[in-house]
């Protein structure tokens, strides 16, 4: 059986648009509400990235930090995250789900145990921010044996030699970090430059699905629509924070943001 992530890219391609990926933090602002958000946006989104909140996130900017701290404060545990995924999958079986987080959470859970739980709850892919190549080789292979995609990250600082090696070891999806930044930074390079870097990756292996993330908002998404997929994270986390502040319903507000994002790349 092929991974639903591959199918999501195929479907987007057939509709001549990039796949839309969203990132929300599990348990933000509560377990129940984060599940509701996932359910409501899943109609518009091709692949759902769910953040495993960590309290020393060295690659995240203030928006995702705020969401993470809020979720942790509200008591989210790793097991709750698996339950959220499982509940979501009961509602929407074929929508691909990727967990994204930091290695210590997996390390403490135990790599094998973590992957077992991923499999049971229906996780299709993993992004581990601070487990770069080649350190991730062993774990990536473990993922592969469980038919879970381990998604390699590439950055503008990745050398060409390294690029080739990582792409060779990567599974079907690759995540390209658009610029030197933590998550949620303002797009400080032109979309032309980002796409030129993106094309370098595609040239090495055109069959891999490459998504672009970091700095993507309603304003910038359209300029990058040539990519296989685009990830929006901080803009959504920010919307949740704003909604809470204004005492509005985050579920509807996030849905509206996602729908507008989708319309821009249709």
Partner 1 sequence: MKLKKGIPVIDQGDKLGFWGGKFGGNFVPETLKKPIEDLEILFNKLKKDKKFISERDKYFKNWVGSPTRFIKLKNLTNHIGGAQIWSKVVSDANGGAHKIYNATVHCLLAKRSGKKIICGDTGAGYAGKMLSMAAKKFGLKCKIFMGVKDIQRQQPNVKAMKKNGAEVIPVYSGSQTLVDAVSECMRYWVANCDKVAMCVGSTVGPAVFVRICGWSTSQISRELKKQLIDEFGSVPKKLKLYNCVGGGSSSFGFWNEFMDYNKKQCEFIGVEAGGPAKSKKHAAPLTYGSKIGILHGAAQYVNQNTDGQIEETESISAGLDYPGISPLHCFLKDTKRARYTAASDEEALNAYKLVTKFEKLRPSLEPSHAFSVAIAESKKLSKDTIVVVNSCGDAYKDRGILKRRLGKKYV
Q: What is the DSSP string of 202-240?
A: HHH-TTSEEEEESS--TTTGGGGTTSSEEEE-HHHHHHH
Provide the 3-class DSSP secondary structure of residue 242: helix
CB of 81 to partner 1, least distance (A): 10
Which residues, 6+ apart, have CB-to-CB distance to 260 below 8 Å? 218
CB of 92 to partner 1, least distance (A): 27
Q: How many CA atoms lie within 13 A of 89 on its CB side?
A: 19
Nearer to partner 1, 40 or 182 (CB): 182
Q: In this structure, what DSSP letter does residue 128 have?
A: E
Nearer to partner 1, 12 or 127 (CB): 127
Nearer to partner 1, 91 or 107 (CB): 107
CA proximity to 37, closest of 87, 103, 82: 87
CB of 33 to partner 1, least distance (A): 20
Nearer to partner 1, 235 or 254 (CB): 235
Q: Which residues are at the interface with partner 1 (CB under 8 A)?
A: 54-62, 65, 69, 72, 77-78, 102-109, 129-135, 153-159, 162, 177, 180-182, 185
CB of 10 to partner 1, least distance (A): 27
Residues recognised as catalytic: 49, 60
Residue appearing with tokens 């020393």: 56
Is the Cβ–Cβ distance between 230 and 213 less than 8 Å? yes
């Amino acid at each position: 059986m092929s991974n639903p992530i591959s199918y999501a890219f195929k479907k987007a391609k057939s509709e001549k648009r990039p796949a839309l990926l969203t990132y929300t933090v599990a348990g933000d602002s509560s377990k129940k509400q984060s599940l509701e958000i996932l359910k409501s946006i899943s109609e518009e989104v091709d692949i759902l990235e769910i953040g495993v909140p960590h309290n020393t996130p060295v690659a995240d900017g203030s928006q995702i930090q705020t969401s993470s701290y809020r979720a942790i404060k509200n008591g989210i545990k790793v097991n709750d995250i698996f339950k959220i995924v499982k509940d979501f999958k009961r509602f929407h079986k074929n929508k691909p789900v990727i967990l994204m987080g930091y290695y210590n959470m997996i390390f403490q859970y135990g790599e094998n145990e973590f992957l077992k739980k991923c499999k049971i709850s229906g996780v299709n892919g993993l992004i581990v921010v601070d487990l770069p190549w080649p350190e991730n080789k062993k774990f990536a292979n473990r993922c592969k044996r469980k038919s879970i995609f381990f998604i390699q990250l590439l950055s503008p600082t990745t050398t060409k030699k390294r690029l080739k090696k990582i792409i060779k070891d990567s599974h079907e999806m690759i995540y390209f970090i658009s610029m030197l930044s933590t998550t949620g930074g303002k797009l400080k390079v032109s979309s032309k430059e980002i796409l030129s870097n993106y094309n370098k990756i595609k040239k090495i292996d055109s069959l891999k699905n490459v998504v672009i993330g970091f700095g993507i908002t309603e304003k910038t998404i359209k300029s990058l629509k040539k990519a296989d997929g685009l990830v929006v994270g901080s803009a959504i986390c920010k919307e949740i924070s704003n909604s809470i502040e204004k005492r509005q319903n985050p579920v509807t507000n996030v849905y509206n943001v996602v729908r507008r994002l989708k319309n821009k790349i249709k």
